[in-house]
Structure 1
Amino acid sequence: MAVLAKCLGFGALLTLSAAPAFAQVSALPTIETPQGAAAVLPGQEAGRAAAPAPTAAAATPGAPPAQDQPVTFTAEEVEYDQNRAIVTARGHVEAWQGNRVLRADEFTYDRNTGVATARGNVQLIEADGQVIFAESVELRNEFKDGVLEGLRGLLAQNGRVAAAGARRTGGNFFDLSRVVYSACEPCQTDPLAPPIWQLRARTATLDQNARQARYRDATVEFGGVPLFWTPYLQHPTGSAPRQSGFLSPTFGITDYLGGFVETPYYWAIDESQDLLLRPQIATNNVPNLGLEYRRRFNFGEIAAEGSLGYLDGSQNTPVGAAGHIFSRGRFAIDENWRTGFNYNYATSEDYLRIYRYGARRLLDQNAYAEGFWGTDAYARIDGRAYQGLRSTDNNSQIPYVLPNIYADWQAPRDSLGGTFTVDTWNFAVFRDQGTSTQRGSTRIGYNLPMYDRAGGLWTVRAQSDLSAYAYTDLAGAPNYSTSADNGSIGAANIRAALDWRMPFVRSAGEYGHQVIEPRVQFVGGPLTGNQSSVPNEDSIDLEFTDANLFNLNRFAGRDRQEGGTRVDYALRSAWYFPNGGLLEGLAGASYRIQNDGGPFYTNSGLENRASDYVARARLMPVTWLEFLGRGRFAQDDGAMQFLDLSSTVSLGSGTALTGGYLFTPAMPYLTPYQERNEVAFGINQRIGNWRFGAFARYDVELNRPVVVTASAAYEDECFLFEARFLKRFAEDPSTNSLYPASTVLLFRIGLKTVGDVGFRAI
């Protein structure tokens, strides 16, 4: 029968994360326990049962034991030699204090020297789940110092360590000799085969306070072959919190920078804020410094990214100091209101591309406050500014908005089942060159759905808009109006509609069921004309598709109002298959009663009384195959005006294929003014731990590629390898040449729990 003993007053035992404790034995009488007998040592009350020994699984992660907790151990045999003052426990010894456990075949403690020794199948189980195995362990100096032989360890995040010997000093430092470390699982077919990677070092130190592992004379082996040597290497242990230190470097070579290296340094300022420094040194240019700062508050957070650099004018870039800043903040005021800001600025798009800070053409800055009251009410006030980054952008014509005010409210359903909504949207837009506009507008809406006895859905909708404008330089961008230059004007519009649709459903037996649904909507309201004397800030973009066919106003904004009387009609049909697939199609158009061109531009699809036809088709015969298409076709001859096709094939083997085609006409509000006629194709393949991907877009009109990308990656529990290639063929209109950094080749190798390293070529 096992002997249970409880001893008070424990010191510290070695660990890889935080110091556990072990026993300091008080004066005990000689106790010799016959096989099968039980004994209670002094300090235990007779008849009290000791707690059962915990297992590693029962340990609570991250819960260090209190140093004054007693240590309890069980063994098949315990004896105390009073003459020599030695306590000996033998046979399946298991001792624990709090959440830490020591197991061994034999354990002895010499009270004269304060030395404790554990021999045979020694296991040290930590509170966070880490396990250390050793042939023998000797502890001294109140158990703050110790020596281990034949160490093996199972650490956090699947880390594995082995060493010929180990020494613990001061209770915090753990020195290993001839150490091997890896986070890779052993090969199932050949456990003795070298892992994918392992780190060998002459010596290593585990700093328990700093939770850092430091290696000297270290070699990284791949498949047992040494490929990288370094005199010194340091990384956090698996259980380490965030802490300051250098991160893995990135190397590369580009046409503009030449060879370069980036060595990030992470500074954990305190528990709520940190800073990342990204110094970059290149052979062909001056150094560049990037910074990233983050801070959390009880009521919000801020984050900022910035850099300082220099452009020397090569590759048609500007000359002089350059930099950027991207920042944001979010703050809660109370349970209803929050506020925030976004501030973004860069000297040029070329700078962002060259130094890998992201390719952006337009940056925005704003500050706002917004309130939420359930789903019934919302309000927001903000100010906005924008910056165009390309050399062709005229920032004097890009607006800044102050203020921009929006609020809406939805009333509860009335006795008929209808819903009233009301909102207001007011702003002041200013330009250094071009139109400046101040607008106040209000919209009231009503929506009432009703079902008839035949199953048809009738919907009554009404919408009223009232706006007032003051403007200057209406002849400038973006209006270019000849009707007036400076002045003020009011605009009003009311629209009402009766919408009917009837879904006819029939069973197709074992083949599913079918639906045919005609839909007709009558819309009426006063004529609005071409509205060229009204400033246009929010309705410049118009795309007529099946998605907005039945909108009361097909413009997304309010500065352009659709007027007159019209009828919208469409026919939708669908076949739903039992396997989850479907076949669906929709075709429709509009017809305006009055022969009034309204505010629609040429090629919008709505400039004539009879609109273009819009259509949508979707085919999914099985769940892993889908075809989707949207299009717009001329009313008179069916000529294609817009077409967007896409297809997706998802095979169970991990293969996914995508393809697409896009045609859009030239839009007067887009620069450059030209058609888009492109095809695209992509493939993604997963084979075991490997992932492959490729994507390409080709411009049929210009007969050249737009972009080509390819990637390959391998990832398992301990290793990551990734390669990416990107080639952009877009040209800078000002120079008729490719943008800088249009070709990118990236390699990344990651050793999980240790770090990663990257190489980039441009």
Structure 2
Amino acid sequence: MPQVMRARFLLCTMLLVLCHPRLCPQALTKQFPPHDLGQTGESQRGGADGATELPDDPSAISGVAVATPAPAAQSGVPVKIEARVQRKQGDLYTLNGAVVIHYRSYVVHADRATYNQATGEVTADGHLMLDGGPDNEHIIASRGVMNLNKQTGHYYDVVGTLGASRNPRNKTVYMAPNPLAITGREVIKLGPQRYQVIAGTMTSCRLPDPDWLMLSHEINLQDGKASAKNTIFKLLGIPIFYLPYASHPVDGESRQSGLLLPITGNDTQRGLILGEEAYFVLGRSADLTIGTEYFSKRGWGPLGQFRYRGRAQNFFKVNFHSLLDRGLQPGNINQGGVDLLLDGRRDLNSSTRAITDIEYLSSYVYRQAFEENYALAIDSEVKSQAFVTHFNRALAESLRFDRYQSFQSSVQLGDEIRILHLPSLRFDAVDQPMGRTPFVAGMRSSIAAVSRSEPANAAFTQVFRVRDVPRVDLYPHLAMPLSSGGWTLHPQIALRDTFYGRSQNPGPLGVVPTVRQASLNRKDWEADVDLHPPAMERDFDAPWLRRLFGGDLRHTIEPDVEYRYVSGIGNFNSVLRFDDVDVVSDTNEVDYSLTQRLFRRHLHPRPCKGDEALGPDTQCGGGTIDWLSWKLSQKYFLNTNFGGAVTPGTRNVLSTTLDLTGVAFLTGPRSISPVVSQLKLRTTDATDFEWDIDYDKDLGRITTSNVFAGYKLGNYNVTVGDSHLNAPEGVTATQPTTVTTLTVAPVTTDYNLFRWSATYGNPTKLGLSAGGYGGYDFVLNQLQYGAFQAGYNWDCCGLNFEVRRYSLGPVRNDTQYLYSFTLAGVGSAGSLRRAERVF
């Protein structure tokens, strides 16, 4: 055992000496000792009138500390006194032997005590223990004097906790977010939430052998904060730091402006990392953190965060990080940039709210090279929106500002598409009955000023740019829903009129169209009939099925057929493209689908535990669950060229294809779409499976396949997934094109990424936790990203280490080694941040 402890001392000491810790919030298991002093006094309930329940007697409680929700504190409890020998002279009680005093929410234990009924003053000696009060005190002392009415006292030879108590089931109840354990030669209580510890210690760990503590001649606790001067910080019994001044939150809510601990680290992309941040409290609802990092290989990286939290759901947050890059050698390649995010919400009244979700990214290369999250590092799109919306019953109006940016290349500057809606006004009316008639009517409409820009040639020397195009879209519709005998019929007719202030001159394949100043009016009329036949179902309740699946099974088959006709759009190729409003085309189609479901009804339901009842498909609590569903859908097109909207030799995106699948499959006229299959399976709380595929009959292959499977049991969690895309792009010319000769070759997008993750444990688990994740590209035959992390938590300190690998082509190819050391109630030191953890 001594050898193990020496190794533990050496490991933690080396980490703190060789690195500057950086503090950030971190939760670890905190446990406190049971209140067991060998007392035998019996807790009694009921006051003088027998109507009020007295607090529980902590001396009768022992066992393992487990965090549970805390009940509300009791107040107004009459005084109850127990002792083997009692004497009363006037207002003064003299008590001897197993003394127990219940006073309001306080419980006092001692060998000997006096109690003044007039003043509420108690003088106790011998095995003194005080529990309760507004501060949830648990104080063990040799003797003390206290005034329970004024909530003051003076105690000697003290060991205790603040912000933690125990319930009748012998479980630790955290009454404050950050409980504090103290020891001292003397502890003086000056009033509620005001204490003075003389020649003592403070810690958030379990006594009597805490992993860390602070020693000082005088510690002051006031208004949720503990502070001390000339403090010695001890880790695992070894003095580590001398601190001229130290503070520690008691209630977990107090904040204080000041400098954070320095940022240090090392990285193959950045080199040696040194940084500092300053934290400013801007009132009860806002704070600001600003700072900068210096990368020895790259330069300075300013960063910051502003947070505001208002009433109800109102909030506003600003995050930014940047790099003033001096260039990566060799070649002096500049990969610097700025990433700015603004998120906020403001409820103006019960029916009006304002939302902002804005991001500005100056360089896609900067995101690829320095973003820690893999999903964000490869995301080439930047979307921003800000809007004010008002809704009243079935009507909704909104004023929106939208910006869309798509980077087409990480190497070539300027290879990007930008689309703006500055601004757009929308008006939507949900279907409403028209008097006493069987008809319902609704409408969608919008007025917008739209803009677009993108490169016009392969050399990026010309840019296709159109600005502030007025667009008015009106889309009223009339429907008559009918249902009888399980059949549902929903016929609908609609008119649509869209006006554009400008239009485009269509160009041949491979040439970007040019803008013309002539306005354009696009009109169409639509008819839609949606038919839902009755679902076919059958129940299976054989005894062997009940034993196998734990309940009855029901199988249903749900067909659906929809016919849609759109006519009148003869100028599709002259319409400028901004969003889904502009890809509406003529169509004459039949959409048919078949959905099979397997339901299971619990015969022996069990109660839900924790957050299980919040799940959409919970397996607990009884009832019937959607165990398995499988949907097959397809479209048949009677109008094979969609009114001339299809351009052969390239991918065509139309609204009718987006309604079916997100994968573009139109590269020419066709009469039948791919078959879309969606399979979902969840047999237990621990299992999850989903598989979506598109099978193209014309190509004779699966064009897209996305499969996901997950399993979770206790501390074990495993997920695997595979995303495969093998869709046609169209054709490309391999020889000069003439009027009569065109030699082309098909182009296919081929992508196949396998993802996996496996973890054991969690950040607050005592002992060992480990996990890893990764992504392997089968097309490039290389590991694009991967990480492995292992950690170990003691009672109130923990160590984590992670190895992370990125391989994102020529922009990023590096390996990172990250670590963090955590002290409960203090924070986390190191380069591994909480948001980037594997588990």
Answer yes or no: same fold by TM over 0.5. yes
Alignment partner, residue 292 of structure 1: 305
Q: 1:393 to 1:633 in 2, by over 3 A?
A: farther
Partner Cα distance (2:479, 2:770) in 1: 50
> Does the CA contact (< 8 Å) of 2:706 and 2:721 recur in 1?
no
Match of 2:139 among 118, 122, 132: 132
Q: Secondary structure at the match of 1:649?
A: strand
Paired position in structure 2 for 1:438: 470
> Which residue number in structure 2 is paired with residue 523 of structure 1?
564
Displacement of 1:369 after TM fit?
Answer: 1.8
8 Å CA contact retained: 2:523, 2:568? no
Question: What is the CA-CA distance between 1:160 and the residue it aligns to?
Answer: 5.9
CA contact (8 A) 2:137 2:162 kept: yes
Aligned to 2:491: 460
Q: Does 1:491 align with 2:510?
A: no
Q: Which amino acid aligns with 2:670?
A: R
Give runs of aligned pairs for residues 258-277 of structure 1, distance below 5 A. 258-277=271-290
Alignment of 1:187-202 (within 5 A): 194=209, 197-199=211-213, 201=215
CA contact (8 A) 1:249 1:758 kept: no
C-alpha distance after superposition, 1:144-174 (max 9, x if no partner): 7845124333544474635351254977552
Q: Which residues in structure 2 correspond to 1:261-340 (within 5 Å)?
A: 261-280=274-293, 288-297=301-310, 300-306=314-320, 310-314=324-328, 323=338, 325-340=340-355
Larger-Rg structure? 1
Contact 1:247 1:755 in 2 (8 A): no
Aligned identity (percent) is: 16
Contact 1:242/1:268 (8 A) holds in 2 = no
Offset from partner CA, 1:617-646 (integer Å, 9 cap, x none): 526383344543222223335222222222
SS in 2 for 1:558: helix
Query: 2-side partners of 1:486 and 1:479: how far apart?
Result: 23
The amino acid of 1:451's aligned partner reads: S
Query: Do structure 1's residue 699 and structure 2's residue 731 form an aligned pair?
Result: no
What residue in structure 1 maps to residue 483 of structure 2?
451
Mapped pair 1:175 → 2:197? yes
Q: Distance in 1 between matches of 2:521 and 2:214?
A: 79
Query: Which residue of structure 2 lines up, in the alignment, with residue 104 of structure 1?
Result: 110
Could you tell which deviates more after superposition, 747-756 or 348-357? 348-357
* Aligned-partner residue type, residue 483 of structure 2: Y
What is the match of residue 684 of structure 1?
759
The residue type paired with residue 787 of structure 2 is T
Consecutive unaligned residues in structure 1, runs of 5 or more: 1-47, 187-191, 539-556
Superposition TM-score, scaled by structure 2 size: 0.67
| Residue 394 (structure 1) shift | 2.7
Specify whether residues 133 and 678 from structure 1 end up closer, same or farther in structure 2 by C-alpha distance, changes over 3 A only: same
Residue of structure 1 aligned with 2:636, choices 591, 598, 621: 591
**Residue of structure 2 in register with 1:373 after alignment:** 392
CA deviation after TM superposition for structure 1 residue 616, in Å: 1.3
Q: What are the residue-to-residue correspondences of 1:209-220 with 2, within 5 Å?
A: 209=223, 211-214=225-228, 216=230, 218-220=232-234
1:119 is aligned with what amino acid?
Answer: D
The one-letter code of the counterpart of 2:55 is: T
Supply the RMSD in Å over aligned alpha carbons: 4.7
The one-letter code of the counterpart of 2:399 is I
Measured after TM superposition, the shift of residue 442 of structure 1 is 1.1
Mapped partners of 1:347, 1:621: distance in 2: 43
User: Mapping of 1:632-647 within 5 angstroms?
Assistant: 632-647=694-709
Tell me the matched-pair count.
Answer: 666
Contact 1:138–1:148 (CA under 8 A) maintained in structure 2: no
Say if 2:449 is the partner of 1:428. yes
Which of 221, 224, 248 is matched with 1:236 structurally? 248
CA distance in 2: counterparts of 1:648 and 1:459, whole angstroms: 39
Q: Which has the higher contact order (CA 8 A, sep 6+)?
A: 2
Letter in 2 for 1:132: I
Q: Is the 8 A contact 2:268 2:815 kept in 1?
A: no
Following TM superposition, by how much is the alpha carbon of 1:535 offset from its aligned partner in structure 2, in angstroms?
0.9
C-alpha deviation, 1:409, in angstroms: 0.6
**Contact 2:532–2:560 at 8 Å: present in 1 too?**
yes
* Structure 2 partner of 1:149: 157
Instruction: State the TM-score, normalized to the length of structure 1.
Output: 0.73
Query: How has the CA–CA distance of structure 1 residues 99 and 392 changed in structure 2, closer, same or farther, with 3 Å as cutoff?
Result: farther
CA distance in 2, matches of 1:260, 1:200: 29
CA contact (8 A) 1:574 1:583 kept: yes
- The change in CA–CA distance for 1:515 and 1:417 in structure 2 (over 3 A counts) is farther
Cα offset, 1:212, TM superposition: 1.6
1:697/1:464 CA distance change after superposition, 3 Å = farther
Q: Alignment partner for residue 665 of structure 2, among 600, 605, 625?
A: 605
Alpha-carbon distance between aligned partners in 1 of 2:715 and 2:358, rounded to the nearest angstrom: 45
Instruction: Map Cα deviations across residues 484-532 of structure 1 (whole Å, 9 max, x no partner).
Output: 6332111112221223343222334435333334433322232645711
2:414 aligned with 1:394: yes
Q: Deviations over 1:228-287 (max 9, x none)?
A: 545467343432532205556543212344333445443323223222234545555655
1:505 matched to 2:537: yes
Taking a change above 3 Å as real, the CA distance of residues 266 and 107 of structure 1, as seen in their structure-2 partners, is: farther
Counterparts of 1:725 and 1:477, CA distance in 2: 51
For residue 125 of structure 2, what is the aligned residue in structure 1?
119
Contact 2:680/2:691 (CA < 8 Å) preserved in 1?
Answer: no
Work out the CA distance in 1 between the residues paired with 2:430 and 2:134: 55
